[in-house]
Structure 1
Amino acid sequence: MTLEGSLETTADGSRDAVMFVFTVTNAGEAAIELDFADACKAEFLVVDDGTEVWRFSEGRAFAQMLSSDRLDPGESTTYEAEWTDPESGEYTAVAKLRARERTCEATTTVAVSD
């Protein structure tokens, strides 16, 4: 069972906020169940030369509830996050699926200007 991930950002060159859209696609030939232990289905990180500068889950509480997403072959789902008031610079953004017993990750570069 193969999951493929892609990560897009919409910084639009401003320091107001950066939106992250993490798309997870079932690239296999059988349906996949993604099981989650809480309401945080994906983690988003922003890294500057190996140093973490922002983490979506930092300082947040998530409802402890079991849930699942089913992906049929070729089907995709998206998870989103917002980084508010980022510092200007060029960063590496990383998105990681938080499903139990499934892994999927994607990275991209994001530039924030004054």
Structure 2
Amino acid sequence: MALDGELDATVSSGATGPDAVTLAFTVRNEGTKTETLRFSDACKAEFVVQDEGREVWRYTDGRMFAQMLSADELDPDEETTYEAEWEEPQSGEFTVVAELQARGTTCEARTQLTM
């Protein structure tokens, strides 16, 4: 598979400081063939916020996902985006990692985030 990932983090602020961070993980098919991404549940991407390697927040912690088989097809040069929101983020400098949860496929992206 020829998948490429890009991760963007957008901070939304309220009157008392940062309210949330919206994470957008875009997966693009850089290959010449259609790629089928197969998922075993409703969680299609995992997002982890780290502070010097120590995990601060994980998207899937405390969440339940429907157990259902699904698939996303990406034609060459096509992309899809998976999103998550980190509510009530803490202050600091972080590394955010996004990883595609498709079976038999690896695609990951990282970005730096300063709150």
Q: How does 1:20-35 map to 2 (within 5 A)?
A: 20-35=23-38
The two structures have a TM-score, normalised by structure 1, of 0.95
Aligned residues of 2:8 and 2:111 also touching (Cα < 8 A): yes
Counterpart check, 1:101 vs 2:104: yes
Q: 4+ runs of 1 displaced by more than 3 Å?
A: none
* Matched letter for residue 47 of structure 2: F
Alignment gaps of 5+ in structure 1: none
* Aligned counterpart for 2:94 among listed residues 91, 94, 104: 91
Q: Which position in structure 2 is the counterpart of 1:64? A: 67
3-state SS of 1:29 partner: coil
Deviation string 1:32-54 (CA, Å, 9 cap, x unpaired) is 00000000000000000110000
Question: In percent, how many aligned pairs have the same letter?
Answer: 57
1:104 & 1:15 partners in 2: Cα distance?
29
3-state SS of 2:97 partner: strand
Aligned residues of 1:11 and 1:111 also touching (Cα < 8 A): no
The two structures have a TM-score, normalised by structure 2, of 0.95
* Matched letter for residue 51 of structure 1: R
Q: Which position in structure 1 is the counterpart of 2:39? A: 36
Q: Which position in structure 2 is the counterpart of 1:82? A: 85
Counterpart check, 1:19 vs 2:16: no
2:81 & 2:90 partners in 1: Cα distance?
26
1:50 & 1:22 partners in 2: Cα distance?
20
What is the alpha-carbon root mean square deviation over aligned residues?
Answer: 0.9
Counting matched residue pairs gives: 112
Alignment gaps of 5+ in structure 2: none
